[in-house]
Amino acid sequence: MSLWLNGIGVSRGVAIGRAQRLHGTDLEIPERTLQVGDIEHEITRFYGAQRRARDELRAVREQIPPGTPGDIAAFIDTHLLMMDDRSIVDTTIGYIRSAQLNAEAALKKTRDAMVAIFDQMDDPYLRTRKDDVGHVVDRIQRVLMKQAQPTAALEGAPKFDIAEPTVIVSDDITPADIILLSQQKVVAFITEFGGPLSHTAILARSLGIPAIVGLRDARKWLRDGETVIVDGEQGHALAAPDAEALTFFKTKQAKLAQDRATLQLLRDKPAISKDGVKIRLLANIESPDDAIHAAELGAEGVGLYRTEFLYMNRKDLPSEEEQFEAYAKVVSAVKGPLTIRTLDLGADKQVDSGARLGPTPNNPALGLRAIRLCLKEPELFRTQVRALLRASRFGEMKIMLPMISSVAEYRQAHAFMAATRIELEREGYKLAPDVPVGAMIEVPAAALASPMLARECQFFSIGTNDLIQYTLAIDRVDDEVNYLYDPLHPAVLQLIQRTIESGVRAGIAVTMCGEMAGDVRYTRLLLGLGLTEFSMHPANVLEIKRAVLDADVKSLQAQVLRLLASADIEEQQALIAAL
């Protein structure tokens, strides 16, 4: 009898294989009180486990095949850095000494404290980075407890039959596990936890492996060895399929494979609609390697480069020189425009630089964060702005300010940057003659005030992820309410339209860098709203390009005008379906 299960589809494609459950991911942490004379021995034992876990991870890093997307290696590099992070190491040793706890219990206490901080973060993407903490701590814990990593048997392959296509079913999968498994005959992943921004989702998309996350109790419902079909777009898993279902999904699988091959032919083709409208397709990146990979997939530049990673998982603030080197490297690697977003951290995500920036707020999403924090802590902002402006001479850089909510806020930030430029020029630095400064439109107030902001800003970038959740007052990472996350809500569409129209009237570029920009289901709608610059994960560029090539923008704009004028929900849905 077939069994139909539903989760969150995060990596498109269809895979058919035998289920293999990983049960080694759940740990029962022992806790005991140490005798005073045992404390130093326990600290030594912890250091030994940390070193061995680091060596294991380095071995995985060396197994990454040449040509693998850069973001995969970046995740492993992040975990290697975290192995030596004082927030983990010093805090754990502190618990061993002060509470006389064994290393396993002390490490668990450290993890719980760090996860609690990440859970308070307002940015959904950064909040899911608590996975990093869990994966690093878990690897050290397994060494301490003398337990093999969940994929250890798969690595040697004596226990599991990996000679045929396999669907891995687990509660979670680390980046290191994904690298090892992707080199074997693993065709899909199913995890019980996680969301669209989890590591499993991001890496599966980069590798082109179908994946479903958030499929609760998957290991309970699926049995080892049974055939499972995974539809990574729809989020469906079908166990023990009948002959008819197998035929249907094999046909769909073949069509998707042919479709991917066809998409590659579009790589060097300009993104111009049927009626001659030129559309710019950009990429969201996190490293210089990502920039190279994006260009290979047809991206014309970078619409979003996040800088928060320079600040996370460390005790001190990055220096001006460290930031300059990082920015100069990525600017030099990008052919075309590069939009760098300034620091998007908050008081809830601060590094320990010797003084706290204030207590963690009850609602950090509405608290001191992003541009608000930068303006309140001018030395923090000044260091980053100096590094950015110094790196501007190496390419076509634009600077984007996150969470702008008013004209006054933008003016204050822009004046600060102008003063910093004068300061650098007096010191003899060579800078690009013009570095456009724009605003990220992710707060409803900014979208509503976009006609006024457009007269001040040099460009807009719409961050749909936050704009949608702020507009609808829901947290899309919260399983209890994320069903309300609706990019097609009339209020969201009107805010997007207003922002685009304001930019057009003022003669400034308007880009969209949220997930909506990289989802082909919304491409025709966004073209109809007047969007001409899309920024997305590099893997989505060619599919969006095909949608652009097949579109008649003027016709779509007329259809969207009717959609926005409609007050009937059923009519709205019909008009969206007809686009």
Could you identify the residue written with the tokens 């260091």?
383
Cβ pair 56, 149 in contact under 8 A: yes
- Please tell me the number of Cα atoms within 13 Å of 556 on its side-chain side: 24
Active site residue 199: yes
Query: From the candidates 135, 199, 293, 537, which is the catalytic residue?
Result: 199
Taking phi first (over 0 means left), then psi (-120 to 50 degrees means alpha), and beta for anything else, what does residue 139 get?
Answer: alpha
Q: Kindly tell me the burial class for residue 494, based on how many C-beta atoms sit within 10 Å of its own C-beta (0-12, 13-18, 19 or more).
A: middle
Length of the chain: 579
DSSP letter for each residue of 234-277: TTEEEES--HHHHHHHHHHHHHHHHHHHHHGGGTTS--B-TT--
Cβ pair 370, 312 in contact under 8 A: no
Query: From the candidates 79, 374, 414, 513, which is the catalytic residue?
Result: 513
CA 533/CA 511 separation, integer angstroms:
5
Could you identify the residue written with the tokens 């902001």?
453
Distance from the Cα of residue 83 to its chain's centroid: 21
Burial of 93-126, coded b for 16+ CB within 10 Å and e otherwise, reads bebbbeebbbbbbbbbbbbeebeeebebbbbbbb
Could you identify the residue written with the tokens 């400064």?
437
Question: Between β-strands 459-462 and 8-11, what pairing exists: parallel, antiparallel or unpaired?
Answer: unpaired
Other CB atoms within 10 Å distance of the CB of residue 30: 12
Active site residue 513: yes
CA 304/CA 459 separation, integer angstroms:
13
CA 98/CA 325 separation, integer angstroms:
40
Distance from the Cα of residue 342 to its chain's centroid: 16
Could you identify the residue written with the tokens 């469906």?
236
DSSP letter for each residue of 487-509: TT-HHHHHHHHHHHHHHHHHT-E
Which residues are tagged catalytic? 199, 513
